[in-house]
Structure 1
Amino acid sequence: MATLAALRSLHSTIGAALSEIEQVYNSQGLDYPSLDVPSYQNIPADSPLPAELKPTEKQLEQERLTTDPAVANAINLAVAAGGRLLATLQQPLISVLETSHLGHIAAALSFLEASNVAEILRDAGPDGLHAKDIARKIEEIHLGKEVAPGSPTEQIEPAKISHVLRLLATQHWLREVKPDVFANNRLSSLLDSGKTLDQLRTTPEKKYDGTNGFPAFIGFSTSELFRSVTYLRDWLLPASPSGSQSKPKPETPFHLAYNTEEGYYGWLERPENASRLAQVGSGMAIARASGRKSIADTSVFPWDKLAKDSVVVDVGGGIGSVSVQLAEPHPHLRLVVQDRAQTVAIAPKMWGDAHKDLFDSGRVSFQAQDFFEPQPQALQVPGAGAVAHPAVYLVTRVLHNWPDADCVKILANLRAAAGPDTKLIIHDMILQPLCAESAEPTSGITADNKPTSVPSLQAPLENWGKAVAPGHLADITMLTLMNARERTLEELRELTLAAGWRITDVDRSPPPLPWGYIVAVPV
C-alpha cells in the first residue's frame, strides 16, 4: 500500500472508531472523559476534603464506560492507528530524540509522585498553583515545617520545579494554565492518593493505604525498576573477558543495578526496604483494575459443574485474594491456599474480620507448601478430610515470575500429584506476535476449543503497536527483575507439555492488557 493511501486508511480507522465511541456515549447521555478535568478517584467518601473535589457519579460512569466492550475495542483501534500515524509522519530524527530520552519522562513522573504535587495541585483547584508555591508546599510536607508565603524555600528551586513540570505538560500529564502555573488533569489526578496535605506530612507511611494502586505503581516503576532496566543492555550483551577469568553474568539486570545476590522479593523483604515492599504491594492493586474477566466467571471454567466439596488448590496464592474471590459465589467449593510458611502464618490475620466465615468454616484454608517441592500425597482439607487428588490446580500470576526451567518444575510437581480428572488453570498474560502471520500453535490444543486472540488487522495495522504495548512493557519488567517473562501462547504450550499437561481451552482478553485463562489436562 502506498504511504499516503496508508495514512488515509489510518485516518479513516480513527474516524470510524470515534464514531463508535460517540454512539455508545450518546446512548447514555454522556460525554467522553475530558483530559483537562481531574477525577480524584482515591478520595474516600468520609474524607475531610471538600465534597466538590470528590468524583461525581457522572464522572465515575464516564470512566466505567471506557471498559464497555464496544468502546474498548474502538479505543484500541484508534490508539493503534494513531500510534502508526505518528510514527509514519514524524521525522525520524525527532523520533530518535524523543525515544532515547523517555527516561526523562519516567524520572519526571517519579518526582511528580514522590513530591506529592498531584495532592498539592488538587488543593489549588482548576486555576492551578505557581511553581514558587508548589516548591513551598513540597518543602513543608517533606521537612515538616511551615514556610511563610512569599519566603524563599531553602532546598527547592522553583525554576527547576517549573521546568520538570513543563516537560510533563508536553506529555499531557498535567496543564500549564499560565506561565509557571500548573494544574492537575485527568492523568495527574490518577497519582493523587486522596490524602490531605496534613496526612502526607504527619503519616507519610500511610500514603498508599486505601488507594487503587496507581500512585504506588508509579513510585515502584520509577524507582528500583527504572534503575534496574538501565542495566538491561549490559546484561543482554556478551560479557567481555577480563584477564583469564570473567565474572559469571548476574541472574538479572536488577542484580547488576543493586549489586546483590538476593532475588528481588528477598531483597524487598529486608527490614530497611519495608517501605518499598509496602509500595510494591499497593502498586500491584492495579492488576485488579485492568477490567479483565473474573476467575469466578463460569465462562472461564465450569465451576458450577464441580461436585460439592470439590477441592481447588490455589498454588502460590499469597494471602488468598483469588481464593476468596472464587469461594464467595461458589459455596460448594473448598479452597486450599498454598504459599511459603511465613506468608501462610500471617494470611488470615491480614484479612481482619473480613471473610471470617470462609476461614472459620474451612472453605478457605491455608497450607505451607513450596511449589518447587513435591505436593503432599494427600491433602488434608478441612471439611473434606484427606483428598488424594484435587479437582483443580489454580496458578494465578505465578509463572511470569519465573524462568522457563523453574516453571516446568512448578507444573511438573502439580502433574505428579494430579489425578486423571484434575484440571490445571493458568492465569497470566498471553502475548501475541506483532505480525500479520500469527505464530499461534496449530497443534496440541483441542480442535473444538480454538484460542481466542487479538483480532487480525489488514495493513497498515497488522502491528497493533501502542494498543498492545502495555503487555510487552510488563514482559520486560519481568525480564529485568526476575529473568522471567510474559509469554506467547506457543511458549506456554511448550511449558505445559514439557511438564505433562496439554492445553484444552484458552480465554484471552483483548488489548491493552492481554490477561488470559488457560485450562489444561494431564497428558
Structure 2
Amino acid sequence: MANTSPLLALASIISSGARTLDEAYTQRGFSFPSLNEPFQPGPLDNDKDLANTTRLIVAAAHQIIATVRLPLDTIQDYAPAVYISSSLGFVDQTNIADVLKDKPQGVHINDISAKVDVDAVKIARILRYLATRHVFREVTPNVFANNRVSSFLVKARPFDELKPGSLTKYNGAPAAAFVGHVADEVFTSAVHIPSHICDPKGYESPFNMAYKTKKAVWEWYEEPENEWRGRRFTASMKGAGDHFPPSIFTEGFDWKSLKEGSVVVDVGGSVGAVALILAKAFPHLKYVVEDLEPVALDAQKFWAIQAPELVSSGQVTVQAQDFFQPQVVKQASVYFMRFILHDWPDSANEKILTHLRAAAGPDTKLVVFDSIMPHACPDEAGPPPPPFPLLANLGLPIGGFLTMMDLQMLTLMNGQERTFTQFVELGARTGWKFEAVKPGILPAFVFLPA
C-alpha cells in the first residue's frame, strides 16, 4: 500500500463505495435517493454495512477535496463557515423550509417573502448561499424548493403555530431544534472561545462570557425568557438520544451477573428512561433514579405513567440527588451514568466521581456510558485503522462529529469529550481502577474501586 498514490487510493474508496451503495439499492429494486428530492425513509437507511460504506465515502470525499484543492482555497472556505450557521439559523427562525413543504415545483422569493415577512432579495441571497452548498435547491431563477437535506428542517407543527418563542415550536422536529440551538446560543457563545481560552476573566465557559452570566446553561434555560430555548434544547437532545438503541445499555454491561436484589443507581438519570429499559430487561435488580429535585419531580410523573407498578413494588425508587454532594445510596452494586462526564471539566468530574467512590463498597462497579474522542493519528489504544490513507478517526464522519461535540461542550459548559487515556486517568485520580471498555457507538467504561 505504501507504493499506492494517496490520491488514487482515495478515489478508489469513493468509487468502490459508490458501486456498493448503488448495487445494494438496485438489488432491492430501488434507486439511490436523489439529492433533489425531499427525504423519505427507506428500507436501507439503518443497514450497518452500508452505513460503514457511507462513512468511508464521506471521509474519502472530504480528504480528497482537501488534497486536490489549493490550501488557500481551503482556508477561504473554512474561515467564513460562520455564514453556514447564520444562514441555517435564518431559515429556521423564519420557517422557510415549512413554506416550501409539499412544493416540489418550488416557490418564488416574492411569495416566500409574503409568507414570512422578510425582504425577498435577502431571502434569495441566503437560500442561494445554502443551495450552492446542497441545502435547498434553486429550481429556476429565484424559485427555491426543499431538497433531501433541507427537508429535515421542516417542523412537525402547522406553519401558523410556529410563532417566535413558542414552547411547542420544535416538538417532533429534532433536526430543526438542533439547528436553532446551534445558530442561536451556541453561535453567540462560540465567538468567545479564543478570548475565554486566553483569558477567561472569571467566567466558567465561553457561554458565560457571551451572556455575562454566572449561571450554568441549565439554570439559564430555566429563566422565563429562555424557557423556549430550553424546550428547543430538550427537543434537540431527544433526537440525538433516539439514535442510541436500547441494546447499548442492556449489552454494555453484564447485568445478569448481579445477584438478585442488587441495587443499581442511575446517577444524573433525568426521568429514568434508561433505567426503565434496564428494569424491564433485568427485573431481578433494584433501581434508583437520581437527579436534581425539579427533574426528580418530572421523573415521578414519568414512572407514574410508564411503569407505576415498578415504583409501588419498590423495584424502582426516584429521588432528588445532586451529584456534586455526597452520594446517599451507599455500597450500591453499580453506579452508572451516561453523557454526564462530558458536560463538565475535570475539576467538576473529580468531585462527582470522588463522591461515588466514597459511597462505594469493595465490590461496587462504576459504569460510564460516554463517547471516546479518537485521535486523528494512529493510536494503539484506538480502533483498527481505516483504509489507507484515511485519517485514523475517519475525519468528518466520526472525528468530525466528535471534535464538533468537544467544542460544543467547551463552549457551553467548559466540558469536553475525552480520549480513552483521559477516562482511565480521570478514574485513577478519583479512586477508580479501569477494568474494561465495551466499544460501540456509545462505549461503556467499567471501573472498580482502587
Is this a same-fold pair by TM over 0.5? yes
- Normalising by the residue count of structure 2, what TM-score does the alignment of the two structures yield? 0.93
Q: Secondary structure at the match of 2:363?
A: coil
**Corresponding position: 1:495 with 2:447:** no
Change (3 A) 1:201 1:492: closer
Which residue number in structure 2 is paired with residue 449 of structure 1? none
| Aligned counterpart in structure 2 of residue 389 of structure 1, from 315, 331, 336 | 331
For residues 132 and 312 of structure 2, what CA distance do their matches in structure 1 show? 54
Which residue number in structure 1 is paired with residue 6 of structure 2? 6
Note the residue ranges of structure 2 that are not aligned, 5 or more in a row.
Answer: none
Q: Give how far 1:291 is off.
A: 4.5
Q: Secondary structure at the match of 1:335?
A: strand
1:82-161 to structure 2, matched below 5 A, reads 82-123=61-102, 125-139=103-117, 156-161=118-123
For residues 135 and 185 of structure 1, what CA distance do their matches in structure 2 show? 20
For residues 229 and 113 of structure 2, what CA distance do their matches in structure 1 show? 25
Residue type of the partner of 1:487? R
Change (3 A) 1:188 1:454: farther
**Corresponding position: 1:220 with 2:181:** yes
For residues 223 and 391 of structure 1, what CA distance do their matches in structure 2 show? 42
Change (3 A) 1:502 1:355: same
CA deviations on 1:283-313 (whole Å, 9 max, x unpaired) are: 1112223356634433x11223322322110
Q: Give how far 1:490 is off.
A: 0.5
CA deviations on 1:94-113 (whole Å, 9 max, x unpaired) are: 21221111100100000111
| Aligned counterpart in structure 2 of residue 407 of structure 1, from 349, 371, 385 | 349
Give the number of equivalent residue pairs: 449
Change (3 A) 1:256 1:38: same
Change (3 A) 1:229 1:202: closer
Residue type of the partner of 1:332? H
Q: Give how far 1:180 is off.
A: 0.7
Change (3 A) 1:481 1:177: same
1:340-379 to structure 2, matched below 5 A, reads 340-350=292-302, 353-376=305-328, 379=329
RMSD: 2.3
Residue type of the partner of 1:410? I
Which residue number in structure 1 is paired with residue 170 of structure 2? 208
1:262-281 to structure 2, matched below 5 A, reads 262-281=215-234
Which residue number in structure 1 is paired with residue 17 of structure 2? 17
Report the more deviating stretch, 345-354 or 251-260: 345-354
Change (3 A) 1:7 1:72: same
Change (3 A) 1:121 1:454: farther
Q: Give how far 1:483 is off.
A: 0.9
Change (3 A) 1:168 1:114: same
Residue type of the partner of 2:449? P
Larger radius of gyration: 1
Change (3 A) 1:406 1:461: closer
Residue identity over aligned pairs, in percent, reads: 37
Q: Give how far 1:194 is off.
A: 2.0
CA deviations on 1:130-169 (whole Å, 9 max, x unpaired) are: 1111111113xxxxxxxxxxxxxxxx21011011011010
For residues 393 and 340 of structure 2, what CA distance do their matches in structure 1 show? 28
Is contact 1:295–1:325 with CA below 8 Å preserved after alignment?
no
For residues 191 and 38 of structure 2, what CA distance do their matches in structure 1 show? 32
1:316-355 to structure 2, matched below 5 A, reads 316-350=268-302, 353-355=305-307
Which residue number in structure 2 is paired with residue 253 of structure 1? 206
Which residue number in structure 2 is paired with residue 229 of structure 1? 190
Q: Secondary structure at the match of 2:188?
A: helix
Which residue number in structure 2 is paired with residue 165 of structure 1? 127
Which residue number in structure 2 is paired with residue 417 of structure 1? 359
For residues 210 and 99 of structure 2, what CA distance do their matches in structure 1 show? 33
Report the more deviating stretch, 461-470 or 162-171: 461-470
For residues 297 and 416 of structure 1, what CA distance do their matches in structure 2 show? 26
Which residue number in structure 2 is paired with residue 144 of structure 1? none
Q: Secondary structure at the match of 1:481?
A: helix
| Aligned counterpart in structure 2 of residue 175 of structure 1, from 128, 137, 155 | 137
Change (3 A) 1:357 1:18: farther
Note the residue ranges of structure 1 that are not aligned, 5 or more in a row.
Answer: 40-58, 140-155, 240-247, 380-387, 441-451
For residues 18 and 147 of structure 2, what CA distance do their matches in structure 1 show? 22
Which residue number in structure 2 is paired with residue 520 of structure 1? 447
Change (3 A) 1:259 1:296: closer
For residues 303 and 463 of structure 1, what CA distance do their matches in structure 2 show? 31
Which residue number in structure 2 is paired with residue 149 of structure 1? none
Is contact 2:165–2:228 with CA below 8 Å preserved after alignment?
no
- Normalising by the residue count of structure 1, what TM-score does the alignment of the two structures yield? 0.81
For residues 35 and 334 of structure 1, what CA distance do their matches in structure 2 show? 49
Structure with more helix by fraction: 2
CA deviations on 1:221-257 (whole Å, 9 max, x unpaired) are: 1100011001111112258xxxxxxxx3422111111
Residue type of the partner of 2:227? A
Residue type of the partner of 1:60? P
Residue type of the partner of 1:325? I
**Corresponding position: 1:187 with 2:114:** no
CA deviations on 1:368-413 (whole Å, 9 max, x unpaired) are: 111112222xx4xxxxxxxx52221111110011111211211121
